[in-house]
């Protein structure tokens, strides 16, 4: 049985090695493929690797978004106080090539440029039409394809560029369950992305990555229009002062909960494990905090793409989470104003099951009943069955939900067959109390067997 808080990992150079991939991919609840790095062949290779090793887990295809990255370059080390030059170019040596003109259009003297998840800070001292000089405020090394953030500014770029659209076509071909939308600034960014997805007849769940100042200013509207919300702490640490990030994380999680949307925390969860086999005490406390805030999932990035201990990082994350996930207080976190009849029904089912210690068995075609039950964060297990392969995988990233494919179309039969499947697997044992339900359906006025209470 997997845990209530779901564990995700990014597949990259460290974790795609055959001897590592076979272990790691079987340990996680969901995998991420980062479309910001590599080419089409790299993306396809990683997607096929995940599907081959564990076809039951969902895949998040993470789009680059309207950000700016360095071009091809030789590593450029520098010390605090050094002067550096950024030039409009696809590649270069001895300076930082930036292949995006918009960077030079909006940057101004006095701006602070942030790189490498906030570790590098540079102040702009001079500006030309295609060249910028800076003074280093920290030591560091600038490398190829690294993100460039201008503090308190967003790039005036479309939410989907050519590379994003190329990546989306790959995601659509392999029917990836989740699509990560990077550098979202407004609800319009989400809507325009959905419009493009409709043109491809592709309907993944959109995970909105909250990582810009504009997104924080409109966080409630953005969260309510997303399918899933990600606290992208790496980029948040490049936009805001580091001491502000914890309260911003809490603000994003609260906004997601108030809209009834699942939420994920990502980046630097176990950063020290890139080079060390054991996490720091501070990292353990950080993960505990996220778990107790009620997040649905946690995502490892550098730890499993470039780290020396990718499998150990996943094992440690699971170990820490398992110590605290049962301390999450039950109760709906959604704003009661978003409650409709079906939401109130799910609340009643979850409260009943929680109060008598009964496992919940739910048959759902769309997955929405399981989503609503998960919002309550019950102490009991939510065991879902669905006839849809896509829904089966999507549900694996929801707090407390386990899912199986049940090939029924009739709701009453599906509910019973779901129960029998979990009994056969041993997740429901003789003597267990079980609440069976299939939820309320729109435009149906009469229900006979919508909920049952049995002892297995």
pLDDT tens column, 207-247:
999 999 899 999 999 999 999 999 999 888 888 888 999 99
If asked whether residues 184 and 319 sit together in one domain, one would say yes
Tokens, residue 218: 């409109």
If asked whether residues 280 and 193 sit together in one domain, one would say yes
Please count the other Cβ atoms lying within 10 Å of the Cβ belonging to residue 448.
5
If asked whether residues 57 and 108 sit together in one domain, one would say no
If one counts the domains in the chain, the total is: 3
If asked whether residues 376 and 450 sit together in one domain, one would say yes
Q: Which of 299, 326, 353 is the last residue of a domain?
A: 326
Strands of 451-455's sheet in order across: 401-405, 382-386, 359-363, 433-437, 451-455
State the DSSP H helix or E strand holding residue 153, giving kind and residue range, or none if neither. none
If asked whether residues 141 and 236 sit together in one domain, one would say no
In a domain, 18, yes or no: yes
The DSSP symbol for 274 reads G
pLDDT tens column, 290-345:
999 999 999 999 999 999 999 999 999 999 999 999 999 888 777 776 677 888 88
The CATH number that applies at residue 94 is 2.40.33.10
Under DSSP, is residue 94 helix (H, G, I), strand (E, B) or coil?
Answer: coil
In a domain, 195, yes or no: yes
- The dihedrals phi and psi of 189, each to the nearest 5 degrees, come to -60, -40
Report in angstroms the alpha-carbon separations of 41 from 23, 31, 38, 46, 166.
Answer: 23, 18, 8, 9, 12
The CATH number that applies at residue 386 is 3.40.1380.20
Q: Rounded distance, CA 232 to CA 242, Å?
A: 13
What is the extent of the structural domain holding 287?
Answer: 6-66+158-326
If asked whether residues 259 and 299 sit together in one domain, one would say yes
If asked whether residues 170 and 24 sit together in one domain, one would say yes
What pLDDT score was predicted for residue 221? 96
The CATH number that applies at residue 37 is 3.20.20.60
pLDDT lower than 70: segments of the chain: 1-2, 337-338, 442-449
Answer yes or no: are the C-beta atoms of 301 and 234 closer than 8 Å: yes
If asked whether residues 308 and 198 sit together in one domain, one would say yes
Cα atoms in the Cβ-side hemisphere of radius 13 Å centred on 42: 14
Question: What is the chain's alpha carbon radius of gyration, rounded to the nearest angstrom?
Answer: 23
What pLDDT score was predicted for residue 55? 96
Residues forming a β-bridge with 147: 69
Q: Which of 326, 345, 380 is the last residue of a domain?
A: 326
What percentage of the chain exceeds 70 in pLDDT? 97
């Amino acid at each position: 049985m997997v845990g209530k808080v779901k564990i995700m990992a990014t597949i990259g150079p460290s974790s795609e090695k055959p001897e590592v991939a076979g272990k790691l991919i079987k340990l996680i609840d969901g995998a991420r493929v980062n479309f910001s790095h590599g080419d089409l062949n790299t993306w396809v290779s990683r997607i096929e690797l995940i599907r081959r090793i564990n076809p039951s887990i969902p895949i998040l295809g993470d789009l680059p978004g309207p950000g700016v990255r360095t071009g091809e370059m030789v590593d450029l080390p520098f010390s605090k106080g050094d002067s550096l030059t950024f030039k409009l170019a696809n590649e270069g040596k001895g300076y930082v090539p930036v292949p995006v003109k918009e960077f030079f259009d909006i940057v101004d003297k006095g701006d602070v440029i942030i790189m490498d998840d906030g570790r590098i800070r540079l102040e702009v001292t001079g500006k030309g039409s295609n060249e910028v000089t800076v003074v280093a405020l920290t030591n560091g090394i600038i490398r190829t394809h690294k993100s460039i953030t201008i503090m308190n500014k967003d790039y005036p770029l479309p939410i989907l560029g050519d590379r994003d659209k190329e990546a989306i076509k790959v995601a659509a071909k392999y029917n990836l369950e989740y699509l990560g939308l990077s550098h979202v600034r407004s609800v319009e960014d989400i809507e325009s992305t959905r419009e493009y997805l409709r043109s491809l007849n592709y309907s993944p769940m959109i995970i909105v990555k909250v990582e810009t100042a504009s997104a924080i200013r409109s966080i409630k509207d953005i969260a309510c229009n997303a399918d899933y919300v990600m606290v992208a702490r790496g980029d948040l640490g490049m936009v805001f002062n580091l001491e502000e990030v914890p309260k911003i994380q809490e603000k994003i999680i609260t906004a997601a909960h108030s809209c009834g949307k699942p939420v994920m925390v990502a980046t630097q969860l176990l950063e020290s494990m890139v080079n060390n086999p054991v996490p720091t005490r501070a990292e353990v406390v950080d993960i505990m905090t996220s778990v107790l805030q009620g997040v649905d999932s946690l995502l490892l990035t550098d730890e499993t793409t470039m780290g020396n201990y990718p499998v150990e990082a996943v094992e440690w994350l699971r170990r820490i989470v398992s110590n605290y996930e049962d301390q999450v207080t039950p109760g709906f976190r959604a704003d009661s104003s978003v409650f409709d009849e079906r939401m109130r029904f799910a609340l009643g089912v979850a409260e009943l099951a929680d109060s008598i210690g009964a496992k919940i068995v739910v048959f759902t075609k769309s997955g929405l009943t399981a989503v609503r039950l998960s919002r309550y964060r019950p102490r009991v297990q939510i065991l879902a069955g669905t006839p849809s392969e896509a829904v089966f995988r999507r549900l694996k990233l929801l707090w407390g939900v386990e899912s199986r494919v049940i090939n029924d179309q009739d709701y009453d039969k599906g509910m019973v067959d779901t129960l029998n499947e979990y009994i056969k697997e041993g997740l429901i044992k003789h003597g267990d109390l079980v609440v069976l339900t299939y939820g309320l359906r729109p435009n149906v006025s009469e229900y006979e067997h919508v909920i049952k209470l049995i002892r297995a």
